[in-house]
Amino acid sequence: MTETRRGQRKHIFVTGGVVSSVGKGVAVAAIGRLLKSRGIRVSIQKLDPYFNVDPGTMSPYQHGEVFVTEDGAETDLDLGHYERFIDEHLTRESNVTAGQVFEHVIEKERRGDFLGGTVQMIPHVTGEIRERILRVGEASDAEVVIVEVGGTVGDIESQPFIESIRQLRRNLGRENVFYIHVTLLPHIASTGELKTKPTQHSVQELRRLGIQPDMIICRSDDEMPPELREKIALFCDVDEPAVIPLVTFSSIYEVPLYLEKIGVGAVLAQALRLAERTPDLAVWEEIVAHVNGEENRPLRVAVVGKYTQLPDAYLSVVEALRHACIAQRGRLDLKWVNAEDVEADGPEAHLNDARGIVVPGGFGPRGIEGKIAAARFAREKKIPYLGLCLGLQVAVIEFARAVMGAAANSTEFDPGTPLPVIDQMESQRGITQKGGTMRLGAYPCALEPGTLAAEAYGESLVHERHRHRWEVNDRYKDVLAEHGFRVSGVWPEGGLAEIMERTDHPFFLGSQFHPEFKSRPNRPHPLFAAFVQAAKRVHLEGDQEALPIGASDEMPAPPPELDPEGEEYPVPSGRFQG
């Protein structure tokens, strides 16, 4: 199909200027919601100019959370915003990196596809980028595709991407393409002013690359005075209604309502000749009305992780907690707890005031003993606990140590442990390549009737997203179950434990998958909803001191063949069969 024929579909390209990290992804997601609220089919794509093939191999310090799609792609965290705002499952097509583009072009060159030709940035690399942009619309059959270019204009890496979106305006027709530039207005404290000059320079740079923006979204922490709107319109040659001030809101979920009010939806509908339809944002208004919670007593939930200085590393977890609180009308009081501090000071010092404890996903041994201690504290003190992937694994290690002995561990942290209660999946053995090789994406999970999990979901079969190499070792499941920690969700084909829960606790549940990726502000994930509900119940019942302490005291004695110290516990012969 030629690009001209493909041009019936509308494309909105969003670039960034001045600095990164001003919330371009949220603005894009919010615009997606405005279009969807008009009944328009919309899809969103992120172009990341870095050379990594995907962010799966990057440190959370570099990149924040790795968002996993239903089809198992490890993607940029902005895809999480997109999915949560437009309430659609996106696919691997929705995140394109320079690494993917160059890898494919070079592969084609080696195959001989360009035989005789010189392979160049234009047209080969830009052609590949254009192709990948157009594919999103085709695969999703969206009427409007919004494409966010990562980074800021002027970055060397982003130039082929900017050039590609410039070419697309020619190829698809001017009436089918709209450019939005998102900038920052810095605040000068000494004069109390917001400055527009960096925006002007950024637009000049964009024009130098051949793109004149149709809309400028100006991010600022303070209200933008009306005369600046006029000034930016004049200097940047954009219609005044298309200069959009965007201050920082206390909740990102307020952004779509604000952008609608200030006329973004109307400007887009007119420019792209979309049939003008009245937006229906009723559900969104409901979300915003309850986003800050109504209860007087905030619900303190501790998240025990190792990237607590960088909350973006756990973005979807935090959003999923918020969604559950919106539904429960609770006021979330998030407490970041560094697992290494728990290791050093003991759990009481950091978790005594927590009404719920979450241990999110993670990799590697740093802070692991702190996470194990947090799981023990939650179990013993009967504090609602939600373990996500690694959070399930540490809960298993912790309880196995209590039942079978201190040597219990995951082979991820102690490859020689005599009690490998968490072991590498069979399918993962021998894999040396790091990128894209984990067990990734959605797998079915059958729920055991009569369990917390089945009750929370209200269904018997669910599909959840994964990103891991290790699993609960089959050999120890019965022993753990006998002592009150049982499997309540299983991957039917592989027999792997997907959910485990305690039978002697208000709420103690861990999942091998990442439920946080499927939570939506209007539809909290059932496991998060059940966790927050339990935390609220415990919270309302009274102070921590009033809670029963020391569930371990009440724990049934281990079966006679087991040595509580674990030293003599028979080492299973053979390894866990995934």
| Binding residues for ligand GLN (CB under 6 A) | 361-363, 389-390, 393, 412, 467-470
CB of 376 to ligand GLN, least distance (A): 19
CB of 368 to ligand GLN, least distance (A): 10
Measured between its terminal Cα atoms, the distance across the chain in Å is: 44
Nearest to 322 by CA among 519, 69, 87: 519
Q: How far is the CB of 406 from ligand GLN (least distance, A)?
A: 21
> Least distance from C-beta 327 to ligand GLN, angstroms?
25
E strand map for 411-521: 419-424, 439-447, 461-468, 470-472, 485-490, 497-502, 508-511
Provide CB contacts within 8 A for 42, sequence distance 6+: 32, 35, 36, 86, 88, 142, 143, 144, 145, 146
- Residue 272 or 440: the one with the smaller Cβ distance to ligand GLN is 440
Query: In this complex, which beta carbon is closest to ligand GLN, that of residue 76 or of residue 380?
Result: 76
CA distance 236 to 569: 74
DSSP letters spanning 236-270: HT--GGGEEEEEPPSSGGGHHHHHHHTTHHHHHHH
- Which of 13/385 has CB closer to ligand GLN? 385
| CB 85, min distance to ligand GLN, A | 24
Smallest separation (angstroms) from ligand GLN to the CB of 11: 34
| Min dist. Cβ of residue 467 to ligand GLN (A) | 5
Q: Which two tokens stand for residue 516?
A: 């946080």
- By beta-carbon proximity to ligand GLN, the closer residue of 323 and 468 is 468
For residues 126, 127, 132, 135, the Cα torsion angle rounded to the nearest 10 degrees is 150
Alpha-carbon distance 360 to 336, whole Å?
12
Q: Among candidates 100, 121, 211, which has minimal Cα distance to 162?
A: 211
Identify the DSSP state of 411. T
Active site residue 187: no
Computed over its alpha carbons, how large is the radius of gyration of the chain?
Answer: 26
Rounded to a whole number of angstroms, the minimum distance from the CB of residue 168 to ligand GLN is 36
Between strands 385-388 and 439-447, the pairing is unpaired
Q: CA torsion sign, 366 to 367 to 371 to 373?
A: positive
What is the rounded distance in angstroms from the CA atom of residue 120 to the CA atom of residue 508?
A: 56
Judge contact between 214 and 241, C-beta under 8 A. no
| CB closer to ligand GLN, 9 vs 468 | 468
Q: Least distance from C-beta 413 to ligand GLN, angstroms?
A: 9
Query: Dihedral angle at the C-alpha atoms of 548, 550, 552, 557, nearest 10 degrees?
Result: -80
Contact by Cβ (8 Å): 22, 182: yes
Q: Which is nearer to ligand GLN, 135 or 469 (CB)?
A: 469
Cis peptide leading into residue 226 (ω within 30°): no
Crossing angle of the two packed helices 159-172 and 126-140, in degrees rounded to 10:
60
In the complex with ligand GLN, the residue whose CB is nearer, 399 or 470, is 470
Which tokens belong to 1?
């199909």
Cβ neighbors of 170 (< 8 A, separation 6 or more) are: none
Q: Three-state SS for 181?
A: strand
Comparison of 132 and 468: residue with beta carbon closer to ligand GLN? 468
514 classed as catalytic: yes
How far out from the chain centre does Cα 378 lie? 25
Active-site residue flag, 505: no
Q: Which of 218, 236, 325, 389 is catalytic?
A: 389
Determine which one of 505, 514, 525, 539 is catalytic: 514
**Residue among 191 and 433 whose Cβ is closer to ligand GLN:** 433
- Taking the C-alpha atoms of residue 116 and residue 549, their distance in angstroms, rounded to an integer, is 76
State both tokens at 6: 């493909």
- CB nearer ligand GLN, residue 56 or residue 279: 56
Map 329-389 to HEC letters.
Answer: CCCEEEEEEEHHHHHHHCHHHHHCCCCEEEECCCCCCCCHHHHHHHHHHHHHHCCCEEEEC
Q: In the numeric block, which tokens belong to residue 379? A: 């179990």
Q: Residue 289 carries which DSSP code? A: H
Residue nearest to ligand GLN (CB): 361
How buried is 351 (Cβ within 10 angstroms: 0-12 exposed, 13-18 middle, 19+ buried)?
buried
Closest approach of ligand GLN to the CB of residue 499, in Å: 14
Of 218, 516, 525, 539, which is the active-site residue? 516
Enzyme catalytic residues: 389, 514, 516
